[in-house]
Amino acid sequence: MLEEYATTGFQATHLAEAVDITRRMRDDGATIYLALTSNMVSSGLRETVAYLCREDLVDVLITTSGSITEDVIKTEKPFVMGDWDVDEAAMREAGINRLGNIFVPSDRYVWLEEYLNDFFEDFFAEEPVRTPSEFARELGKTLDDPDSVLKNAADNDIPVFCPALTDAEVGNFLYYYDKRVDRDIGVEILEDYETLIGEGLLADTTGLLCFGAGVPKHHAIMTNLFRGGADYAVYVSTGTEHDGSLSGAPPDEAVSWGKIKAEDETNHTEVKAEATLVVPLLVAAAFKGYDPAGSVAEPDGAEAPATDD
């Protein structure tokens, strides 16, 4: 079906381009960056992202604090399907928070604060100043949910970079903890930035999958600037470029800054669509249903790298 999308027109054609470019990333053995906003984890795309980490199909994860917050909550307490059109004041009175048509009861955050306080004690006892990637890795090691993004990333040593760690409840709870404990603790972001730059400099080829925009997308493309630009890029976004925002900027604009290589126009594309509609199709066609060049099948169906033996 997706092959027919190539000649369907409109965003279907862009989705077919996205599948093709992602397959080329894999064929070339690219270091694949997955940059995603937290609403991906708010939705059922959490399981899709967890799959990519569990199967070790991506190499670098860049996200926001909300992804960490909500991934941890979902290991213990689910979110609830709701509606877009509700009485917001009544929701507030009932202690229910709305994410689009997904509801998050406030008791989830009560549980999260208790969980994180215990984690903070051990985490900062080892070193008083840590990086966001250390935070994500060590937190992931404490989780026991096969659908957890953080757990699967930690299991496969996939670094999770979160430049805006304070921009969600995790940040609030860090703030409360810092004010309560009688010692200096801190989160060092510059070390992570240097590490992220190094990921690109050490890679022969890089490919970017940007689901959503904002801080994750820009950290993916900005750190690739140091290596002369990313070799491949796929954006999935509903942002518009007409307001001049970075979130709405298409990959063509990143080419002008040197953040994506200007090899030709076939190394990048943008699908203007809401991610929950197209990301599962992209992952199914470019990952789950595709064997990259240079791989051979094991007898049990698993893939192994091709060798010269």
Q: What is the CATH number of the domain that holds 59?
A: 3.40.910.10
| pLDDT reading at 215 higher than 70 | yes
Q: Decide if 226 is inside a domain.
A: yes
Average pLDDT of span 217-230: 98
The label of the residue with tokens 């970079």 reads: 161
* Percent of residues, the chain, with pLDDT higher than 90: 90
pLDDT tens for 188-210 read 999 999 999 999 999 999 999 99
Query: Which one, of 242, 42, 116, 37, lies nearest residue 124 by Cα?
Result: 116
Average pLDDT of span 153-160: 99
Q: Give the model's pLDDT for residue 128.
A: 94
d(CA 140, CA 132): 12
Q: What is the domain count for the chain? A: 1
d(CA 53, CA 150): 9
Q: Decide if 304 is inside a domain.
A: no
Torsional sign, CA 122, 33, 16, 255: positive
* Residue ranges making up the domain that contains 194: 2-77+113-291
| pLDDT reading at 256 higher than 50 | yes
Q: Give the model's pLDDT for residue 182.
A: 67
Q: Which range (70-84, 127-141, 254-268) has the least confidence?
A: 254-268
Q: Decide if 107 is inside a domain.
A: no
pLDDT tens for 234-253 read 999 999 999 999 899 999 99
Q: Give the model's pLDDT for residue 263.
A: 78
- The beta-carbon contacts of 285-290 under 8 Å, at least 24 apart in sequence, are 285/2, 285/19, 286/18, 286/19, 286/22, 286/23, 286/26, 287/22, 287/26, 287/52, 287/55, 287/57, 288/51, 290/23, 290/26
259 classed as catalytic = yes
Torsion of CA 32, 33, 34, 37, to 10 degrees: -170
pLDDT tens for 101-136 read 999 999 999 999 999 999 999 999 999 999 999 999
Residue 142 — very low, low, confident or very high, per pLDDT cuts 50/70/90?
A: very high
Q: Give the model's pLDDT for residue 107.
A: 97
d(CA 66, CA 283): 22
Q: Decide if 305 is inside a domain.
A: no
Q: Decide if 287 is inside a domain.
A: yes
Question: Which is the catalytic residue, given 151, 259, 272, 288?
Answer: 259
**C-alpha distances out from residue 196 to 89, 93, 129, 161, 227, Å:** 42, 43, 18, 8, 11
Residues 6+ apart with CB under 8 A from 190: none
Q: Decide if 308 is inside a domain.
A: no
pLDDT tens for 8-57 read 999 999 999 999 999 999 999 999 999 999 999 999 999 999 999 999 99
Q: What is the mean pLDDT of the chain?
A: 94
Q: Decide if 105 is inside a domain.
A: no
Q: Decide if 247 is inside a domain.
A: yes
